[in-house]
Amino acid sequence: MKKIKNLAEASDRIKLAVKNNEKIIIYGDSDADGICSTTILQEAIKNLGGSVEMVLFPNREDDGYGVNKRALEYLKTVPPCLFITLDLGISNQAAVDVLNEYGFKVIIVDHHQILDGIPNAEIVIDPAQADDQSDSRHLANVGITFKLAEELLGSDMSAQLRKSFLELAALATISDMVPQIGDNKMFIEEGLRSLKHTFRPGLRAFFDILGEGEIVSGGFYKIIQALNAAESIDFKNSAFDLLIESSKNKAEELAQDLIAKVNYKQLKIQQIAQEVERRISQKKDEAIIFEGDPAWKLTLAGPVASILYSKYQKPTFIFKKMDNESAGSVRSTKELNSVEAMKTCKDFLITYGGHPQASGFRIKNEDLAKFEKKLKEHFNSLKN
Ligand SMILES: [Mn+2]
């Protein structure tokens, strides 16, 4: 099988940066896939004898997904430096132009669908690129990052380090709900097997708090939920802090805090889902579910959309309505491709992107009605 396009190039470029003592920044997404990818890459670079100057995660709720305006403002004075994105970036054409202007050298590592074109980065890894012949489109970002770590370290990757990376690859692969085939299946099987004996204090903490029995019978979902529960504040993320924590006591504290967040989040998700169900009870013939509210948290829109999508089997758009803009999450099927649907609205969407089955968007409130109407027309036309 062919290697992922630009994997070797990215590896060589990172090695060069380490050799030349270039500053390296990692900018990762704030979910389990982004956080686990970031942990693996940072530790791989450390094992090369290098170091990562700064690790950043966007606050999706307040500042938006991807390389957002606040990040660009924050990063202005940092270059020269190598800037690596993980699990985001492929839809950030304009932001990458700004990063280039500031003097960053950008490497994008992403697995989301390509929109209008590929950002003008020095190196772009995304198996969704048309000319990527690796057949790795099913990988979560963590799978790509694992392969990048293998490329970086080669035979210097000890068996123990490989296992430790596989544990993270397993958790994030399950979390991202990619098909459990090929390498994904291997990550999950080998990673979960190793997880029970993990040396990583941040993961060990869950076994100590919840008990091994509960975790194993729960399919490790408790850990995955916890890794997804942290919100990034000032570009920091406590789930990432947990994964890189070396003290057992501190790790238990952080894990405990995340578990409490999960419980609270579950309650909120149920409440919002019930509210949406109440609203759509009068709209049974509509082709889609399209609901928003100022009181709903953007970070809960995805889980709420997942619940409603699986119950009603309709493309589901759930959003938080803010003062001037709304932002939301979408769940649908591969056939009823949500990214393609939003492409028909790209002239008035501020941002959009993701996977056919799971995506997101940001829009001006004045365009919401037009958006809903166009989406309904689009999905109705697919039915006929
Ligand atoms: Mn991902």
Report how far apart, in Å, the C-alpha atoms of 110 and of each of 36, 42, 95, 193, 314 are.
13, 16, 15, 27, 27
What are 163-213's pLDDT values in tens digits? 999 999 999 999 998 999 999 999 999 999 999 899 999 999 999 998 877
Strand stretches in 14-99, DSSP E: 24-28, 54-56, 81-86
pLDDT of residue 265: 93
Q: Taking the domains of the chain in order of start, what are their residue ranges?
A: 7-244, 283-383
Q: Which residues surround ligand 1, an ion (CB under 5 A)?
A: 33, 87, 141, 176
**DSSP three-state, residue 85:** strand
- Report CA(26)–ligand 1 centroid distance (Å): 15
pLDDT of residue 384: 64
Kindly report the length of the chain.
Answer: 384
Amino acid at 92: N
- Helix (H) or strand (E) holding 167, with range, is helix 159-175
- Report CA(205)–ligand 1 centroid distance (Å): 24
- Report CA(211)–ligand 1 centroid distance (Å): 28
pLDDT of residue 219: 65
Strand stretches in 46-186, DSSP E: 54-56, 81-86, 104-109, 123-125
Q: Tell me which CATH code domain 7-244 carries.
A: 3.90.1640.30
What are 118-168's pLDDT values in tens digits? 999 999 999 999 999 998 999 999 999 999 999 999 999 999 999 999 999
Q: What 8-state DSSP symbol labels residue 216?
A: H
Q: Is the pTM of this model over 0.85?
A: yes
Q: Which fold has domain 283-383?
A: Diaminopimelate Epimerase; Chain A, domain 1 (3.10.310)
- What whole-number distance in Å separates Cα of residue 147 and Cα of residue 130? 20
- Spell out, as residue ranges, where the chain has pLDDT lower than 50: none
